[in-house]
Amino acid sequence: MKKTTVIYEQGEHKWTVLHHNTTRAKNIISTNEYLIQHGEQSIVTDPGGTEVFPEVMATLASLTNLDTIGRVFCSHQDPDIFSAIGLWLKMKPELKVMLPKMWLGFMLHFAGIKENFDLLPDEGSTFDLNGVTMQAISAHYCHSSGNFNLYDPAANILFSGDVGAALLPHESTELFVEDFDAHIQYIELFHKRWFGSNEHKNQWCERVSEINPSILCPQHGMLYRGENVKRFLDWFYHLKVGNIEY
C-alpha cells in the first residue's frame, strides 16, 4: 500500500494524502492522491492509472468505507490521472467523475457513459461536499488546455494538479518541501517543458496568490506549505516556460 499522511483535520473535515511507494517500478512516475472527507462523504483527486489502481484502492479502503466516496476529481486528461476510471466504475457504478468538459470524448475511450461524468465548464464551478462548498478553479494551459484545480476554502488547501509537481529521485520519501532552493532542481525542467503559456501561467499565479492557500498540493512530488507556497508562486511567476533544447 501507499504511505498516508493526514495534512489537515478539523472536526469532521479531513485531508489525507496517499504518497510514496518506493516498491513501484522505477519507470512509473510517483503520484499523490488526496482523500478529502467531510462526515460521511468523500472525494478523491486524480485517482490514478491502471498500474497503481490496486494499491490506491487498498490504501483508500484502509482509510474509509469506500461507500463514502461519491466523486473523483480529474484535473485533466493525462493517463496517470484517469486511466483507471474503468476499474473504478466497475467497483462503483454510481460514481460521479468530475472532469473538464472538453475531455469527455477522450474519457469515454477508457470507460463509462456520459451520465457517469460531471462536466466542469471552462469558467469553473462549485459543488457541495456534505455541507462544505468546494471550488473547481480554472487552470487552463497549466499545463493542459482544459485543466482545473480544486480549492477547499474550509481547509484553505489547493490541489494544484501538475502545477508545482516535482520529479524526485525514486528513493525520496520527504512529503513537504523544507528547502525551496534545493527543490528547484526537481521542478524547473518539468515546468519549462510541460507548460506552454507564460500568459496563462502568470494569470494562474495571480489567481492563487489572491486565494493565499496554506498548503499547495501537487499530484507529483512534495507539498508546499507556509512560506514555501509564496516562494513557489514567485519563482513560477518569473519562470519562462515553453522552452525546449534540442
Domain of residue 134, CATH code = 3.60.15.10
* Number of domains into which the chain is organized: 1
Nearest in space to 224 (alpha carbons), one of 180, 190, 181: 180
Instruction: Give the model's pLDDT for residue 231.
Output: 99
Residue 180 pLDDT > 70:
yes
Q: In this structure, is residue 245 part of a structural domain?
A: no
Instruction: Give the model's pLDDT for residue 22.
Output: 65
pLDDT in tens, 113-140: 899 999 999 999 999 999 999 999 999 9
pLDDT in tens, 8-58: 999 999 999 999 886 777 778 899 999 999 999 999 999 999 999 999 999
C-alpha R_g of the chain: 17
214 touches 227 (CB < 8 A)? no
**In terms of pTM, does the model score above 0.85?**
yes
Q: Which domain holds residue 199?
A: 4-238
DSSP string for residues in 197-209 = -HHHHHHHHHHHH
Q: In this structure, is residue 122 part of a structural domain?
A: yes
Q: Determine how β-strand 41-45 pairs with β-strand 69-73.
A: parallel
